[in-house]
């Protein structure tokens, strides 16, 4: 017999005149007080030790204050339960409760550490930068994997808790042994959830979309605002939100305007009369691009891309650093080009012509209307 066991036996002999419930309550109270005191001292020591370390360790100590205190309390109560004069039923009940507390504690700590690591890891990436492709890639991947990890922690924790109850464990074993219809019904019921969870894992690896990507989906244009474990939130240009399941982006086509980079080439199509001076228009577009704060200095071009019956199709290309800037730059080019044509070359605007009667010198072409085509 060890010295600790001798001391416990001697203590039980000296306190044998006291009621067993009183001794048990006193031991649990002393264990709780000692655990709280030890946790406070240890927390102060750890706080001073990590004061000069990086953000991860400082956050780990500050955010695990609750889980660490719960850990110390659980250990203290476990020690008290081993020495308290409890009946077998009481001792079994308390040990079971402490086992449940320990399982929940492990899950709590795992989830907290995952959150701290994710937060610290993502601090190096800025989504508000002009070229945020790398940031969007890492933020999307990390957020999806974080949610999948949190779901896994919760599922494993609940499974471990249920397995501590004999009735539930036996029911689970009998259900697995019988297999058949019950398992099929549960599988079919969970199919949409599991489908989106696996789609989230696939999306995190392949990344067809990322946070803040500019998408054209379901006839709507917007930016990816949030990616959860089951659905994607797209912020539309007029501040509406389009909610789509994760599996949608694995099964249906959509346009991603910022898949490879944040920069985009904007297109402005205009239909002009055949008498339009293209060189003058090209020079004016270049002047507009150089004078705009939205242009990134990479692409500006004017080309005649098609001939129609009464007009020619002119395509203007300009580039900008982000999708939002590209949209605004296209609007600016449209406004200034039409103002230039109206003031300097009104004859360049589309006109509808028809032949009317003339003299011997031939038919005369008369202008019936001068209206810009939309």
In CATH, what number is assigned to the domain containing residue 221? 2.30.30.60
pLDDT at 313 over 70: yes
| The predicted structure's pLDDT at residue 284 | 95
- Residue 310's pLDDT band, with cuts at 50, 70 and 90, is confident
Report if residue 180 sits inside a domain. no
Q: Is residue 103 part of a domain?
A: yes
Q: Is residue 171 scored above 60 in pLDDT?
A: no
Give a yes or no: residue 134 inside a domain.
no
**Which residue range(s) make up the domain with 42?**
3-124
8 and 81 co-located in one domain:
yes
Sign of CA dihedral 223, 226, 228, 234: negative
At residue 172, the pLDDT reads: 45
Of 349, 348, 351, 354, give the one whose Cα is nearest residue 366: 354
223 falls within a domain: yes
Contact 122, 56 (CB under 8 A): no
Phi, psi of 214, deg, nearest 5: -90, 120
Q: Is residue 137 part of a domain?
A: no
Could you tell me the pLDDT band of residue 23, with boundaries at 50, 70 and 90?
A: low
Task: Using the predicted structure, report yes or no on whether residue 181 has a pLDDT greater than 50.
Answer: no
Nearest to 117 by CA among 136, 140, 155, 143: 143
Instruction: Tell me what the mean pLDDT of segment 323-348 comes to.
Output: 91
- CA–CA separation, 96 and 162 (whole Å): 12
The reply to whether 268 and 313 lie within a common domain is yes
| H or E element at residue 135 | helix 133-162
Q: What's the whole-number mean pLDDT along residues 310-321? A: 92
Please give the mean pLDDT across all residues of the chain.
76
Are 8 and 87 members of one domain?
Answer: yes
pLDDT at residue 288 tops 60: yes
Residue 162 in this model has a pLDDT that exceeds 80? no
Quick check: 255 pLDDT over 60? yes
Q: Which of 124, 151, 181 is the last residue of a domain?
A: 124
Q: Are 179 and 186 in contact (CB under 8 A)?
A: no
Specify if 12 maps to a domain: yes
- Number of structural domains found in the chain: 3
% residues pLDDT > 70 (the chain): 75
* Last residue within a domain, chosen from 230, 256, 282: 256
Q: Say if residue 286 is in the same domain as residue 200.
A: no
Q: Does some domain include residue 328? A: yes
- 147 in a domain, yes or no? no
Higher-confidence position of 27 and 109: 109
- Please name every residue paired with 223 in a beta bridge, in sequence order, or none if there are none: 214, 235
- Whether 94 and 47 share a structural domain: yes
Of 307 and 69, more confident: 307
Q: Is 228 exposed, middle or buried (0-12, 13-18, 19+ CB in 10 A)?
A: middle
> Do 21 and 109 fall within a single domain?
yes
């Amino acid at each position: 017999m060890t010295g600790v066991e001798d001391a416990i036996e001697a203590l039980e002999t000296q306190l044998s005149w006291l009621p067993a419930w009183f001794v048990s309550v006193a031991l649990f109270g002393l264990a709780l007080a000692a655990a709280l005191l030890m946790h406070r001292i240890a927390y102060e020591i750890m706080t001073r030790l990590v004061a000069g370390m990086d953000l991860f360790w400082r956050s780990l100590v500050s955010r695990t204050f609750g889980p660490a205190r719960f850990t110390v309390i659980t250990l203290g109560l476990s020690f008290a339960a081993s020495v308290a004069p409890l009946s077998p039923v009481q001792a079994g009940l308390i040990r079971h409760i402490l086992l449940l507390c320990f399982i929940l504690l492990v899950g709590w700590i795992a989830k907290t550490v995952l959150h701290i690591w994710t937060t610290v890891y993502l601090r190096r990436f800025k989504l508000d930068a002009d070229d945020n492709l790398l940031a969007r890639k890492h933020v999307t991947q990390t957020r999806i994997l974080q949610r999948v990890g949190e779901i896994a922690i919760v599922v494993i924790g609940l499974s471990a808790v249920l397995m501590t109850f004999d009735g539930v464990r036996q029911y689970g074993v009998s259900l697995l042994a019988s297999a058949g219809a019950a398992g099929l019904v549960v599988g079919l019921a969970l199919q949409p959830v599991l489908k989106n969870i696996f789609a989230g894992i696939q999306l995190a690896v392949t990344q067809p979309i990322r946070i803040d990507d500019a998408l054209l989906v379901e006839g709507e244009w917007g930016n990816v605002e949030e990616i959860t474990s089951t659905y994607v939130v797209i912020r539309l240009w007029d501040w509406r939100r389009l909610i789509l399941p994760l599996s949608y982006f694995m099964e249906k086509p959509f346009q991603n305007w910022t898949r490879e980079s944040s920069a985009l080439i904007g297109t402005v199509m205009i239909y002009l009369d055949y008498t339009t001076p293209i060189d003058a228009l090209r020079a004016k577009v270049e002047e507009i691009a150089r004078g705009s704060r939205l242009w990134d200095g990479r692409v500006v071009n004017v080309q005649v891309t098609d001939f129609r019956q009464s007009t020619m199709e002119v395509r203007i290309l300009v580039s900008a650093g982000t999708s939002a800037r590209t949209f605004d730059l296209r609007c600016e080019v449209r406004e200034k080009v039409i103002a230039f044509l109206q003031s300097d070359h009104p004859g360049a605007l589309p006109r509808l012509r028809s032949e009317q009667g003339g003299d011997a010198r031939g038919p005369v072409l008369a202008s019936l209307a001068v209206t810009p085509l939309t």
